[in-house]
Amino acid sequence: MRVSLSIVGLIVVFGVGPAVGAPKPKPDSPKLAAAVNLENKRPVSLLNFEIVMPARDKIPEVVVGKLDKPLGAGSAASFPLTGGAGCVFEARWAFEDIKDSGEVDLCNDAHIVLVD
C-alpha cells in the first residue's frame, strides 16, 4: 500500500497530466433532479412533505413537489419535481409530533432521509 501511495505522490509532484495549453474538461453543470426519493427513518408517520421554490422579487413561492399521502415510519416514497429552477429549495414537513422546514439542494441527487 505504501508503494502505491509513493508512486501517486511522484505523479503529482512531477505534474503528469494534460499538456500545457490543452483545454481543460468542462465540469458538468448542476442539473435539477426529476424526482425526490424520500425515506422516513423516524418512528412516527410523516403526515406531509413539500418542496417549495421560495418567493423571489415579485414572483410568489411555488410548490414544485409534494408527497401525496402520509408516509409511515420506516417507509420510502418518490415524487416528481415540476416547474422548479435552480438547485436550492425549501423543504417543509409535518410529522405526527413536529413540524419543521429546511433548505435542500436538489441538483444531481435528490435523496432525502428524515431521521431523529
26-114 CATH choice from 2.40.70.10, 3.40.50.300, 1.20.210.10, 2.60.40.2890: 2.60.40.2890
At 43, which amino acid appears?
A: P
Continuous segment of H or E residues that includes residue 3: helix 2-14
And the C-alpha cell for 22? 490543452
Confidence tier at 2 by pLDDT (50, 70, 90): very low
And the C-alpha cell for 53? 421554490
pLDDT over threshold 80, residue 11:
no
pLDDT at 55: 86
Closest CA to 38 of 98, 104, 85: 104
Whole-number average pLDDT of the chain: 82
pTM of this structure: 0.71
At 5, which amino acid appears?
A: L
